[in-house]
Amino acid sequence: MLRFTFFGLLGVLVLAACLTHPSQSRAEVRADVFRSFQVDKVLVLKSKRRMHLLRRGQILRTYQISLGRTPSGKKVRQGDGKTPEGWYVLDTRNPRSKFYRSMHVSYPNEADKARARAMGVSPGGAIMIHGEPNHLQNIGFNGRGLDWTEGCIAVTNREMDEIWNNVPDGTPIEIRP
């Protein structure tokens, strides 16, 4: 009887340990499932401060974003604080960006360059999807709810990791007003 009680108690303890200390949390399991999808389009809705990752027209993930400090309207020139509007491509990435990680938006396109040339101004460039500023990470800055960039699209570092892992170079990005 003592042997039965000992092994019964040991079995209960092992089972309890497995149930209370899973090797992966539910969030990690969901993240692993999400990582199995490859995004084929990014859609930014500036007026709603939302960015969607899509595959075959289905929204896989949505993020609240921060934009340029003057977000309304099309980007026209360098320094205007606007986030561009139109169709572009996420063409390169920088793992050592001063904003955690960044993915380059192919702004300016030919139409953007022609418009700026006609106005006698530089169209600017270096538009990115990026994380939080490296120099502010120790104080917990994430900019959520603020338009603080020079024209880029900003998310939290955790969100940037998710985007980085699921959006390949060459993915089209549509930025709508």
Domain CATH code at residue 110:
2.40.440.10
Question: For the residues of 34-85, what is the DSSP string, one character each?
Answer: HHT----EEEEEGGGTEEEEEETTEEEEEEE-B-BSS-SS---STTS-PPP-
Tell me how many domains the chain contains. Answer: 1
Torsion sign over Cα 131, 132, 138, 144: negative
Decide if 133 is inside a domain: yes
How many Cα neighbours within 13 Å face the side chain of 12?
Answer: 6
Higher pLDDT, 33 or 51: 51
Residue 7 host element (H or E): helix 2-20
Q: pLDDT (tens digit, 9 = 90+) per residue, 79-133?
A: 999 999 999 999 999 998 999 999 999 999 999 999 999 999 999 999 999 999 8
- Which pLDDT value is given to residue 1? 52
Decide if 112 is inside a domain: yes
Decide if 12 is inside a domain: no
Q: What domain range includes position 168?
A: 38-176
